[in-house]
Chain A
């Protein structure tokens, strides 16, 4: 059985147990909804239609801010899922069983990351329409560009979340430590996503933003490679 097949089996195991327990995706989605709602509360209805009038600091319109709100909401909600997905393996020492099985730690990492990747998509499929409704954004501007952005973000975010989720299982106060480790590291990814989404929302499109995709792609590659190589140092006794 090769590693790719093992990766899919491990991810399927995570998703199957989640389909029964329903303890990761529903809280994630609900938290994401609450965050998007909280952010939109600051904006009066229809504020998304026109830029904020007058000389605002740095001349940032609400359209540009909306991109930041979207990705920060997704990030905070994602953190919940990463932490939960990692701690289920620690509870009842399930990770011991996985390590005893003839599975390469790299495949284990990839499997967990794939499960996190799926959770992020579930979150986004629900959050994007809500975001469009709340912020009064023209759907044509956002779709399909935002799906490409989400794809690039999800790969890196899921890999980093898996790596730091596993890392933070071995410290005290693990729920606190994980965001402290994760957030500074994924700044290139979040910054790129916000920049690209702002570009979409202001109608500029993704045509001239190739370098952000290269940067985020480089981040994805680096974090997936480090995760695959280094995961065994984290989980092995």
Chain B
């Protein structure tokens, strides 16, 4: 075994075991987080901002449903983080033309769409018992849904692009437009709802959380960040492998076919 191959393999293995370690940590953290959500965090305290601390949400019953927030909030945060990374990757790709930035943006968009879907789903599961409806045209819900549509369009575009290089460049432009659109859609939604008051108005003033709630929430935010990083490491590795495969296939096609039938056999 020659030394360069060994070093190459060792560093690859090192990176891989690092990813595996991160995945193991995330899995353990998720288990601890779920235990904390079910057994540590008190139930009566309401997480809806604006409702006084220690008060039940909208009725006197213990508010078990609110526990979904410990998952819903980190999921939503990862979704927005992922779309932010799409913007960074897209701008960097257009500036440098380096493939790894495009792989970064593409991977992050996939994970972002996944988490936006999970965010909408977990929000609906909370909304049904609390608001009495799965869906309402609240500005935050609508903004999240519009982002979901924009980035599904982005992924669809990438899937249908005829020429991968140009597809990547155009997708980068879409990724930039999509993120620049976020504040504009946000304000249009806020004003839209101001003219049509919603049943539930979420107050931006946050409540003082007891330690157990705050710690659980921050812990799960960290766990979900780890999950995002782990998924990104796996997905970008897959992206690089796809790239290498495409290059190998292209090289194979360019090589002239073996000419055994014309050769003079000695």
Contact = CB atoms under 8 A, between A and B. Distances in A.
Interface of A: 58, 163, 167-168, 170-173, 177, 180-181, 183-185, 187-188, 191-192, 195, 211-212, 215, 218-219, 222-223, 226, 230, 233-234, 237
A63 to B, nearest CB: 15
Contacts of B166: 170, 234, 237
Contacts of A163: 173, 177
A170 B84 CA distance: 25
Interface SS of chain A = helix
Given A170-B166, A188-B184, A233 B192 contact: no
Interface string B138-166: 00000000100110010011001111001
B89 interface: no
Contacts of B246: none
B153 A180 contact: yes
Given A170-B163, A170-B170, A173-B160, A223 B177 contact: yes
A233 B185 contact: no
Interface centre among B94, B157, B178, B189 (most CB of A within 10 A): B157
Interface string B9-53: 000000000000000000000000000000000000000000000
Nearest to A209: B191
B125 interface: no
A237 B166 CA distance: 7
Contacts of A226: 173, 176-177, 180
Given A172-B160, A184-B153, 5 more contacts: A177-B157, A181-B174, A187-B146, A219-B184, A230-B173
Contacts, number: 86
B212 to A, nearest CB: 40
Interface centre among A58, A170, A211 (most CB of B within 10 A): A170
A122 to B, nearest CB: 26
Contacts of B1: none
A234 B170 contact: yes
B188 interface: yes
Given A177-B156, A184-B150, A171 B188 contact: no
B181 interface: yes
A99 B7 CA distance: 48
A170 B162 contact: yes
A185 B160 contact: no
Contacts of A191: 188-189, 192
B174 A167 contact: yes
A171 B177 contact: no
A215 B191 CA distance: 10
B149 A177 contact: no
A181 B172 contact: no
A192 to B, nearest CB: 6
Contacts of A219: 181, 184
B127 interface: no
A222 B182 CA distance: 12
A177 B160 contact: yes
Contacts of A173: 160
A167 B170 contact: yes
Contacts of B160: 171-173, 177
Given A173-B160, A212-B191, A187 B185 contact: yes
A3 to B, nearest CB: 20
Given A177-B156, A222-B180, A170 B188 contact: no
Leading 7 A-B pairs by shortest Cβ distance: A184-B149, A171-B160, A188-B188, A188-B184, A230-B173, A233-B169, A184-B150
Nearest to B158: A171
Contacts of A211: 191
